[in-house]
Structure 1
Amino acid sequence: MTLKTIADSLGVSAKTVSRALAGKDSVGEELRARIRAEADRLGYVPNSMARSLVSGSAMTLGMVITHPANPFYALLISAVEERCRANGYSLLLMVTEEDLETEREAAQALQRWGVDGAVVIPVQKGAEHWQRLRDSGVPIVLVNRGLDGFECDFVGVDHERGAYEAVSHLLDTGATSVHLLEEDVSFSSAADRRTGFHRALAERGLSVRDDTVTLVPPTPGRRALPWEPDAAYRCARELVRGLEPGAAVLTGSDYFALGLYRALSEKGIDVPGQVAVIGHGDLPFAAYLQPALASVRPPADEIGSRAADLLFERIQGSAGPATTLYLPPELRIRASAGGDDRRAKN
């Protein structure tokens, strides 16, 4: 089905049909409505490759993520895809699973396919391949993780603020000590949470002992889901042995909180009566645990929308220095940190 098919059916020119479907002002509203109705009736679908050749644009954004199983990234993808649809673009998704060589191949593929821009969550092990992609004329927006030495637009979570506010809440509500159960990784997101954790303690004159921070190693062979509850459970069994009544634990993931809950339950330690807990991510199951899990909720939807909108501005020719946006997370207080389950199920 072609533009000529529609034109012949209505007795107009193919150029008129093309202008109408493209929304050009030179076609009256009544005729435009007739042409669109006929295109729908005939099942006409625009040829994207032909359109790209004419416009010089692929009308496609690339998106590179690390963990396909990460619920945060699922929300992020949905937000970026929604902005693509609103702008008449398609979204090409690629997954690296934290592997540098896979990421290099992804950057090369995006250049070969001629995408108009890219939203990237980097593995943070080098920026040369991203520099080459940008030098080829493809604007890039980094999300959630920055890259040292690579001046680029960035939109991410203020992880430091989220951890700081969580620890401050725990101390304000009577915690006598606060511990951190965090990923044993070098990513900036985890490092920023540790910084916020330390800052909150330092402002209260509290020192960080050797046993204050427990690091959970990634699960071998499971790059796509390194923060499984079982790994956190194994580490938490050691952690809970030293916890005294009045202690609190901040975890770097709600999955870690699952493992911690089990370790605490096996020792007969009541949450929050003896130990308070706050997770990170505010995953759908958090509000339905017993007790309901307090959690730091990152604004995934807003981050995805802001990143895509910033990228479209660059595609349309916006110049100027790189933009850096850190969006604040929301602390969702539930029963595990002294909240009321009846008021805080979501």
Structure 2
Amino acid sequence: MPPTEVPRRRTLQDVADAVDLSINTVSRALRDLPGVGEATRARIKSEAERIGYVPNANARSLVLGSRRTIGVILTDLANPFFNDLVTEIEERAIQAGYTLLLLLSDEDPERERVAVDTALRSGVDGIIGVPVQGRSNPWTAVTKAGIPLVLVAREVPGLDVDFFSSDNQEGRRMTTRALLERGARDIVLVEEDLQITTVAHRVDGFRNALEEHGIPFDSRRTALVPSRRTARGSSLWRGEDAYRVGVDLLESGRVPDAFLVGNDYFALGLYAVLRERGVRIPEDILIIGWGDYPFSRYMDPPLSTVRLPVIDVARHATARLLALLDDTAAPGSSAEYLSPELMLRASTNN
């Protein structure tokens, strides 16, 4: 079996070799300078696109070597997970002699495409990315251009790159079991209304744990909080969003045994509505959050929640990308899911 070829950035020389012309001619054609016939110019541009060549805006500064830059493309920084993620990636990158180019997509597929294109044209050596998971997929341009790529938190189906994430499915299964062990049967999962794999995996873990205990899963067991991620400039989550969901549920006459929430901010809103309606935590209802944000242990009562392995995810992803950049690892398509930790506190009678 032949050895796996390590991807590399396509160069002007690659284009020149493909069309059997000089680098000078290829460069002039790609920059739309005079002196190149239209048919030749079209052939050069077509071949450059076919092999994945991306013009490097910093090419002149690369004459003496690489700028040693890692691109990090995130959906947002309001999410504490991604904030901690990029902080740890930067620390690891600096230790290895790299700087970061940080770009944000704001959950917008078009901004994601621009971010990927900007990273490529800026001459980054490699990219760590969190996909929007929209209809478009700009990430294939990265692998096509021969730039090492590692994805985090969300996958892109069919893209053969390494992937690292917290194990959202197991984390939600773990929290559901904890509630079932404490006698809860009418459990409502409160999640953000966003079509991403992290939410889908948590719903799957919830469903699996219920079915393991012979409890059927139906639409009454989930409540969706409208997503704010497409509204630029707004905070990612607000307790008031989950507050309104709680009001609607309680006004229907239903008081469940327990809530599982998609982030600890949602728990803030549920705490407020339950307190207003005289529903006691944990005597009347149990609650488990997600994220273990700094305020969670100071809530009244302190919130049981899930601590995500964000530092380990960042370390694994950065180590993998650095190994690809150093040619000490071959490109792969492995997926690694790191275990979260259940933090039990007074909101579940602990």
- TM-score, normalization by structure 1: 0.80
Q: What do the CA deviations read for 1:222-264 (whole angstroms, capped 9, x no partner)?
A: 576342211111111122344447x011001111111111111
Distance in 2 separating the partners of 1:197 and 1:223: 32
| 1:323/1:96 CA distance change after superposition, 3 Å | same
Change (3 A) 1:150 1:223: farther
Distance 1:319 1:59 in 2: 19
Residue by residue over 1:88-132, the C-alpha shift from the partner in whole angstroms, topping out at 9 and shown as x without a partner, is 100111111101111101111111111011110110114642111
1:104 aligns with 2:113: yes
Does residue 149 (structure 1) correspond to residue 181 (structure 2)? The answer is no
Aligned to 1:211, the other structure's residue is in SS state helix
Give deviations 1:171-223, integer Å, cap 9, x for gaps. 11121321101111110000000000000100000112432110111137357
Give SS of 1:230's match: helix
The AA in structure 2 aligned to 1:160 is Q
> Using a 3 Å threshold, how does the CA distance of structure 1 residues 147 and 224 change in structure 2: closer, same or farther?
farther
The aligned residue for residue 11 of structure 1 is none
Moved over 6 A (4+): 48-51
Q: Give the 3 Å change call, closer, same or farther, for CA 223–192 of structure 1 in structure 2.
A: farther
Percent pairwise identity: 37
For residues 225-264 of structure 1, the aligned pairs below 5 Å read 225-241=235-251, 242-244=253-255, 247-264=257-274
Which residue, 46, 49, 72 being the options, matches 2:81?
72
Deviation at 1:319, TM superposition (A): 1.1
- Aligned pairs for 1:146-295 (under 5 A) are 146-219=155-228, 221-222=231-232, 225-241=235-251, 242-244=253-255, 247-295=257-305
Distance (whole Å) between structure 2 residues aligned to residue 93 and residue 202 of structure 1 = 42
Residue 41 of structure 1 corresponds to: none
TM superposition shift of 1:74: 1.0
- 2:133 is aligned with 1:124: yes
Aligned partners of 2:130 and 2:151 also within 8 Å: yes
Q: Which residue of the partner structure matches residue 12 of structure 2?
A: none
Counterpart residue number, 2:95? 86
Aligned residues: 290
Q: Secondary structure at the match of 2:195?
A: coil
Q: C-alpha separation between the residues in 2 aligned to 1:146 and 1:152?
A: 9
**Contact 2:174–2:342 under 8 Å retained in 1:** yes
Q: Is the 8 A contact 1:98 1:223 kept in 2?
A: no
Q: Provide structure 2 residue ranges, at least 5 long, that are not aligned to the other structure.
A: 1-57
Q: Which runs of 5+ in 1 are unaligned?
A: 1-47, 340-346
Tell me how far 1:58 sits from its aligned partner: 2.1
What is the alpha-carbon root mean square deviation over aligned residues?
A: 1.9
Q: TM-score, normalised on structure 2?
A: 0.79
* Structure 1 residue aligned with 2:347: 336
Contact 1:168 1:200 (C-alpha < 8 Å) held by counterparts: yes
**Residue of structure 1 in register with 2:4 after alignment:** none
Partner of 1:323: 334
Give the conservation status (yes or no) of the 8 Å contact 2:282–2:346: yes
* Matches of 1:320 and 1:152, distance apart in 2: 7
Aligned residue in 2 for 1:300: 310
Instruction: Give, as a single letter, the amino acid of the residue that structure 2 aligns with 1:300.
Output: V
Does the CA contact (< 8 Å) of 1:127 and 1:147 recur in 2? no
Superimposed CA distance per residue, residues 44-103 of structure 1 (whole angstroms, 9 cap, x where no aligned partner): xxxx99984322x22010001112111111110111011101101001111111011111
